[in-house]
């Protein structure tokens, strides 16, 4: 499915206005997990609105200090995953010697909340 179609979720809402109940549709930003792999090995799972997954993965690697420049990224491969929905896994191919640290400095934790 096209990521543009997956980035918006339609939902039914009920409004109370001037003593009247009114139902209508509303568009919400969708959220799905993205599993980031580095050279085929699992690195992190983060929640995101589908789309721009390559930029998100590259930014994650850079902000976590696993790469210092975009030249260290050789390419990206979207993968099917049994752990996540189809299209929610991206494998970043890095130059030799780069990738998941042998002893991580910390665990990568990403949260999301839903407000009703």
Show me where the domains of the chain are located: 3-94
Provide the pLDDT for residue 55.
95
Residue 7's pLDDT is 78
In this prediction, residue 41 carries a pLDDT of 87
Q: DSSP labels for the chain?
A: --HHHHTEEEEEEEEEETTEEEEEEEEEE--EEEEEEETTEEEEEEEE-SS-HHHHHHHHHHHTTS-SSGGGEEEEEEE--SSS-TT-EEEEEE-TT-SS-SS-SS----------
Instruction: Output the tens digit of pLDDT for each of the chain's 116 residues.
Output: 555 567 788 889 998 989 999 999 998 888 899 999 988 888 899 999 888 999 999 999 999 888 999 999 999 988 765 554 557 899 999 987 665 555 445 455 566 666 65
CATH 3.10.20.10 fits 3-94, yes or no: yes
pLDDT given for residue 3 in this prediction = 57
């Amino acid at each position: 499915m096209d990521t543009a179609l997956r980035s918006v979720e339609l939902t039914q809402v009920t409004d109370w206005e001037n003593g009247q109940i009114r139902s209508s549709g509303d568009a919400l930003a969708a959220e799905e997990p993205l599993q980031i792999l580095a050279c085929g090995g699992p690195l992190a799972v983060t929640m995101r609105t589908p789309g721009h997954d390559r930029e998100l993965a590259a930014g994650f690697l850079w902000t976590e200090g696993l790469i210092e420049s975009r030249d260290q990224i050789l390419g990206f491969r979207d993968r099917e995953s049994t752990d996540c929905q189809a299209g929610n896994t991206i494998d970043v191919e890095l130059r030799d010697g780069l990738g998941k640290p042998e002893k991580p400095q910390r665990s990568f934790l990403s949260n999301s909340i839903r407000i009703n």
